[in-house]
Amino acid sequence: MSFNDAHAFAFSLAATLMVAIVIFQAGDGSLSVVPAAEYDGDAADIVHEIDPFAP
């Protein structure tokens, strides 16, 4: 998934679920999106975090 696709998907998911979403880079270099509460990987792999409650 490209960064633009991941960002659009993460923003949509955050707005729908009203939870913080993390975009991270997997070991093979691909990007993925997951709710922040479910992310248990390395913090260094996080590319961006979207919080729907942030000002």
C-beta separation of 39 from 10 below 8 A: no
Residue 1, pLDDT score: 84
10 beta partners: none
SS3 string of 3-51?
HHHHHHHHHHHHHHHCCCEEEEECCCCCEEEEEHHHCCCCHHHEEEEEC
pLDDT in tens, 1-55: 889 999 999 999 999 999 999 999 998 999 999 999 999 999 999 999 999 998 8
C-beta separation of 10 from 46 below 8 A: no
49 beta partners: 22
